[in-house]
């Protein structure tokens, strides 16, 4: 079996019923606020080239990671037996799943638009400068959305894969 196929079928390493790729994605999702914070710290230190490239890389990895997460949930994680054998009712679990998908989509769309607008402003040489305060507010909104995505992803992961 190829390495790629093993990535999607191997047992996980976090001690849950999740597969290896779900555990790998969860480690990235949990680390994401710290990685974004490090990237933002580089902007505060006026290392804008690193900030731009790291934001592009983190956005791309997050986009791929969330797709893999949703793929793993709906292909391997959501079964009636798993939802019925947890602490929450199936209605609560379903609502958390829907919220996670919604907040992930809003986060990706907002983050993408902030990156695109900021790159255009950077090329016009108005960022940093005239639009810095607007950019700072937009970045704070994106960071809060990232935190909401992280917490909702952790909740979904625990509901579906954690057993006592």
Q: Which tens digits make up the pLDDT trace of 35-86?
A: 999 999 999 999 999 999 999 999 999 999 999 888 888 776 565 556 666 6
Tell me how far apart the alpha carbons of residues 97 and 70 are, in angstroms, rounded to a whole number: 9
pLDDT number for residue 95: 87
Tell me how far apart the alpha carbons of residues 151 and 146 are, in angstroms, rounded to a whole number: 9
Comparing 123 with 145, the larger pLDDT belongs to 145
CB 19 within 8 A of CB 78: no
pLDDT tens for 97-121 read 889 999 999 999 999 999 999 999 8
CB 10 within 8 A of CB 76: no
Tell me how far apart the alpha carbons of residues 111 and 116 are, in angstroms, rounded to a whole number: 9
pLDDT number for residue 81: 54
- Going by pLDDT thresholds of 50, 70 and 90, the confidence category of residue 141 is very high
CB 103 within 8 A of CB 4: no
pLDDT number for residue 9: 65
pLDDT number for residue 33: 97
Tell me how far apart the alpha carbons of residues 54 and 41 are, in angstroms, rounded to a whole number: 11
Tell me how far apart the alpha carbons of residues 125 and 87 are, in angstroms, rounded to a whole number: 53
Residues of the chain above pLDDT 90, percent? 51
Torsion, Cα 92 97 103 106, to 10 degrees, reads: -140
pLDDT number for residue 101: 92
DSSP code for 19: B
CB 128 within 8 A of CB 97: no
Please state the rounded mean pLDDT for residues 132-143. 92
């Amino acid at each position: 079996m190829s390495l790629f196929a093993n990535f999607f079928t191997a047992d996980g390493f976090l001690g849950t019923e999740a597969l290896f790729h779900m555990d790998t994605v969860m480690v990235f999702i949990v680390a994401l606020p710290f990685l974004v914070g490090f990237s933002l710290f580089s902007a505060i230190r006026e290392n804008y080239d690193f900030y731009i490239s790291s934001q592009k890389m983190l956005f791309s990895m997050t986009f791929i990671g969330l797709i893999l997460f949703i793929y793993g949930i709906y292909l391997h994680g959501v079964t009636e037996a798993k939802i019925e054998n947890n602490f929450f009712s199936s209605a609560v679990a379903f609502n958390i799943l829907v919220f996670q998908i919604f907040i992930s989509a809003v986060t990706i769309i907002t983050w993408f638009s902030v990156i695109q607008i900021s790159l255009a402003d950077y090329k016009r040489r108005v960022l940093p400068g005239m639009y810095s305060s607007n950019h700072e507010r937009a970045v704070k909104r994106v960071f809060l959305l990232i935190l909401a995505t992280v917490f909702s992803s952790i909740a979904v992961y625990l509901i579906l894969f954690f057993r006592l």
